[in-house]
C-alpha cells in the first residue's frame, strides 16, 4: 500500500516532468491568440473578448491532448467534454458582454462629445454676449455722461441722445429676453398653451410688425398663402416669435432692393412655412451650424448695412427650439438668390382646448 505522502510526492514529480511539455504545447496557442488580439485591436470589442476567452480553453485542450498522446480514455474524454461545455457557455457570454460594453463605450464617448460641444457652445455664447453687451453699455454710459456734464445742451442734440439711449436700451432688453427664452428651452422649462391657431393670421401680424424695418432697408417683403385656412396646433406667442425671428433674420441679411418671400402652405398632414431671402447663400460647410447657439457664420452672407446689429446670434437657435417644442421641424438650404428656411408643423385636425 502506497502512503499518502508518497502518492502526493509522486504526483508532484509527474507534474514536474510534464510541465515543460504542457508549456511547450500551450505557449504557441497563447502567442497565436495574442497575435489575433493585436490584429483585432481596431475591431469590435465583442470579437476581442471572444478570442480572449477562447485562448485558455484552446490552450488547455491542446495541452491535454498533447500530453495524453491522443489516448482517449475516460479521463481524457471527461476533460474534453468539460472544456467544450466551458466554451459553449463562455463564448456566447463574451459576445454579449462585449457588445454591451461596446454600446456603453460608444454612448459614453458620444456623451462626452456632446458635453464638450455644449461647453464650447456655452463659451462661445458668453464671448458673443459679452462683446455685444459691452457695445451698447459703453454707448449708453458715454451719452449719459455727456448729458450729465452738459457737453450737449441744444434741445435737438439732447433729444437725439435720448433717442439713441432708448434704442440701445431696447437692444439690451431684447438680448436679455433672448437669453431668458433660450435658457427656458435648453432647460426643458418651456410650457406651451396649445390651441388651434390660424398660421396665416400669425404670419400677417408678424409681417405687419416687420414692415417698417423692411422699408427702412428698402427690402420688399412678399407674402403668399393658399386659399383655405392653414390651422396648426400651437401656442400663439411662440408661433409669432418663430415667424418674427425668421422674417427679421431674412430682412437683416437681404441687401437693399432685395426681396424676402414668405409662403404658407400645406403638405400632407403638415403646415409649411417658408421664408426665402436674397442673402446670397450660406457656405455649404456652415449650413449644419446655422441653428447653433451664437453661430453667425462668415461674411459670405450679405452684410447688414441698415445700421442695426444682428444681436447675440440667438434668434435661429431659439426658433429651432420653439419649432421642436411644437413637434415640428425646421430646415435650411441654399436656393437662388439666397437661402430658404422651411418650417413644418402638425396641422390641427380638431379644435384643441
The pLDDT, as a whole number, for residue 353 is: 45
CATH topology of domain 195-346: Heat Shock Protein 90 (3.30.565)
Residue 206: alpha-carbon gap to chain centroid: 29
**What's this model's pTM, rounded to 2 decimal places?**
0.58
More confident position, 307 or 198: 198
pLDDT of 18 strictly over 70: no
Out of 74-83, 245-254, 264-273, 297-306, least confident range: 297-306
Highest mean pLDDT among 68-72, 146-150, 203-207, 294-298: 203-207
Out of 177-181, 307-311, 317-321, least confident range: 307-311
Q: What is the pLDDT of residues 128-165, one digit of tens each?
A: 667 667 777 888 888 888 888 777 778 888 888 888 88
Q: What is the pLDDT of residues 85-106, one digit of tens each?
A: 777 777 777 777 767 777 777 7
pLDDT of 317 strictly over 70: yes
Confidence of residue 246 (pLDDT cuts 50, 70, 90): very high
pLDDT of 292 strictly over 90: no
Confidence of residue 56 (pLDDT cuts 50, 70, 90): confident
The pLDDT, as a whole number, for residue 76 is: 67
Is 348 within 8 Å of 196 (Cβ atoms)?
Answer: yes
pLDDT of 244 strictly over 70: yes
Q: Find the mean pLDDT for residues 59-73.
A: 68
Confidence of residue 272 (pLDDT cuts 50, 70, 90): very high
Domain ranges of the chain: 4-108, 122-186, 195-346
Q: What is the CATH number of domain 122-186?
A: 1.10.287.130
The pLDDT, as a whole number, for residue 15 is: 59
SS (HEC) of the chain: CCCHHHHHHHHHHHHHHHHHHHHHHHHHHHHHHHHHHHHCCCCCHHHHHHHHHHHHHHHHHHHHHHHHCCCCCHHHHHHHHHHHHHHHHHHHHHHHHHHHHHHHHHHHHHHHHHHHHHHHHHHHHHHHHHHHHHHHHHHHHHHHHHHHCCCCCCHHHHHHHHHHHHHHHHHHHHHHHHHHHHHHHHCCCCCCCCEEEEHHHHHHHHHHHHHHHHHHHCCEEEEEECCCCCEEEECHHHHHHHHHHHHHHHHHHCCCCCEEEEEEEEECCEEEEEEECCCCCCCHHHHHHCCCCCCCCCCCCCCCCCCCCCCCCCHHHHHHHHHHHCCCEEEEEEECCEEEEEEEEEECCCCCC
pLDDT of 124 strictly over 80: no
pLDDT of 342 strictly over 90: yes
Q: Find the mean pLDDT for residues 227-253.
A: 89
More confident position, 14 or 219: 219
Out of 28-32, 72-76, 133-137, 267-271, least confident range: 72-76
pLDDT of 17 strictly over 90: no
The pLDDT, as a whole number, for residue 345 is: 92
Amino acid at each position: 500500500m502506497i502512503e499518502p505522502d508518497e502518492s502526493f510526492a509522486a504526483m508532484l514529480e509527474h507534474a514536474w516532468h510534464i510541465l515543460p511539455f504542457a508549456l511547450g504545447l500551450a505557449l504557441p496557442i497563447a502567442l497565436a491568440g495574442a497575435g489575433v488580439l493585436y490584429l483585432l485591436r481596431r475591431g469590435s470589442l465583442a470579437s476581442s473578448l471572444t478570442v480572449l476567452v477562447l485562448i485558455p480553453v484552446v490552450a488547455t485542450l491542446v495541452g491535454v491532448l498533447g500530453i495524453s498522446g491522443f489516448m482517449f480514455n475516460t479521463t481524457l474524454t471527461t476533460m474534453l467534454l468539460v472544456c467544450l461545455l466551458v466554451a459553449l457557455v463562455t463564448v456566447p457570454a463574451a459576445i454579449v458582454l462585449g457588445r454591451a460594453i461596446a454600446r456603453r463605450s460608444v454612448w459614453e464617448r458620444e456623451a462626452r462629445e456632446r458635453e464638450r460641444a455644449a461647453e464650447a457652445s456655452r463659451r462661445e455664447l458668453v464671448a458673443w454676449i459679452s462683446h455685444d453687451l459691452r457695445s451698447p453699455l459703453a454707448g449708453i454710459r458715454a451719452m449719459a455722461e455727456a448729458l450729465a456734464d452738459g457737453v450737449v445742451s441744444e434741445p435737438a442734440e439732447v433729444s437725439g441722445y435720448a433717442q439713441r439711449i432708448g434704442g440701445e436700451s431696447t437692444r439690451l432688453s431684447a438680448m436679455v429676453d433672448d437669453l431668458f427664452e433660450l435658457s427656458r428651452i435648453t432647460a426643458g422649462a418651456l410650457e406651451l398653451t396649445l390651441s388651434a391657431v390660424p398660421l396665416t393670421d400669425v404670419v400677417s401680424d408678424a409681417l405687419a410688425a416687420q414692415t417698417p424695418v423692411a422699408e427702412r432697408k428698402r427690402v420688399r417683403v412678399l407674402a403668399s398663402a393658399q386659399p383655405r385656412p392653414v390651422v396648426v396646433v400651437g401656442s400663439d406667442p411662440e408661433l409669432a416669435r418663430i415667424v418674427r425671428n425668421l422674417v427679421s433674420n431674412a430682412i437683416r441679411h437681404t441687401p437693399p432692393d432685395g426681396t424676402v418671400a414668405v409662403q404658407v402652405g400645406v403638405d400632407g398632414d403638415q403646415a409649411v412655412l417658408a421664408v426665402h431671402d436674397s442673402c446670397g447663400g450660406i457656405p455649404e460647410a456652415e449650413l449644419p451650424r446655422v441653428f447653433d447657439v451664437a453661430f453667425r457664420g462668415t461674411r459670405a452672407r450679405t452684410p447688414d448695412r441698415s445700421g442695426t446689429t444682428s444681436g447675440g446670434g440667438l434668434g435661429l437657435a431659439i426658433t429651432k427650439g420653439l419649432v421642436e417644442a411644437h413637434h415640428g421641424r425646421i430646415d435650411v438650404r441654399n436656393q437662388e438668390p439666397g437661402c430658404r428656411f422651411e418650417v413644418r408643423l402638425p396641422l390641427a385636425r380638431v379644435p384643441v382646448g
